């Protein structure tokens, strides 16, 4: 089985727009045969509205949100409205989908599987719900997924709630759903070892996507 070279990047806390610009630059590089990239980061509070977002899923006036320091941005990924904020691990796989059959549905299921396996490493049983992209624990959503693709290279990605301030999700219908959000810290009722989390994330990506990190 072929292994694909991948570089791991931790951008720390970075504005959503700065991360987006960096992603676009990396998409161009990967499309020219640069190694794939796996990025983790966190964003200051921001609501992003994907290509299928419906205005009614934002429940609070944008001016009120701005007064609270929460941006609202229209973005070029799939899916509806979602929240990023500190305490959420944002995962951006800049991957060449030519290696994975150019099948977006398969790619999304593989991203879900990485998250399911990662949560299993922390003794949490997570599932998919047919017809709804993302990952759930006990009927509550813990990870949202929305991607974009250019030249068969993926960008955007996964928001996994680690110790996110869950009350922030009350300003919207997450992903257009009437769903309650949860987090690792809420489920485990303890702080999360983020060094272990990143280590296990890399291992699960390595296995699911046949990667060699270098």
d(CA 60, CA 164): 19
Closest CA to 86 of 192, 165, 11, 175: 165
d(C-alpha 200, C-alpha 123), whole Å: 13
Instruction: Cite the active site residues.
Output: 175
Can you tell me the distance from the alpha carbon of 56 to that of 54, in angstroms, rounded to the nearest whole number?
A: 6
Burial of 103 (0-12, 13-18, 19+ CB in 10 A): exposed
What is d(CA 106, CA 144) in angstroms, rounded to the nearest whole number?
Answer: 16
What is the C-alpha to C-alpha distance for residues 90 and 12, in angstroms, rounded to an integer?
A: 10
In the chain, count of helices (H) and strands (E)?
Answer: 5, 11
Which tokens hold the place of 35?
A: 């190694």
Distance CA 144, CA 81 (A): 10
């Amino acid at each position: 089985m072929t292994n694909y070279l991948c570089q791991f990047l931790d951008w720390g806390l970075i504005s959503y727009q700065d991360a987006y610009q960096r992603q676009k630059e990396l998409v161009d590089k990967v499309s020219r045969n640069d190694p794939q990239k796996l990025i983790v980061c966190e964003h200051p509070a921001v609501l992003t509205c994907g290509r299928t977002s419906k205005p009614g899923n934002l429940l609070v006036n944008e001016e009120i949100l701005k007064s609270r320091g929460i941006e609202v941005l229209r973005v070029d990924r799939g899916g509806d409205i979602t929240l990023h904020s500190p305490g959420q691990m944002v995962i951006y796989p800049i991957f060449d989908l030519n290696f994975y059959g150019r099948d977006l549905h398969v790619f999304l299921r593989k991203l879900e599987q990485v998250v399911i396996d990662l949560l299993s490493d922390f003794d949490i049983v997570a599932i998919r719900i047919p017809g709804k992209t993302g990952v759930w624990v006990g009927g509550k959503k813990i990870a949202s997924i929305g991607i974009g693709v250019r030249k068969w290279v993926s960008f955007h990605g996964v928001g996994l709630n680690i110790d996110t301030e869950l009350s922030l999700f009350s300003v919207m219908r997450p992903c257009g759903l009437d769903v309650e959000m949860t987090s690792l810290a809420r489920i485990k009722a303890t702080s999360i070892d983020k060094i272990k989390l990143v280590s296990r994330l890399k291992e699960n990506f390595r296995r699911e996507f046949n990667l060699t990190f270098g």
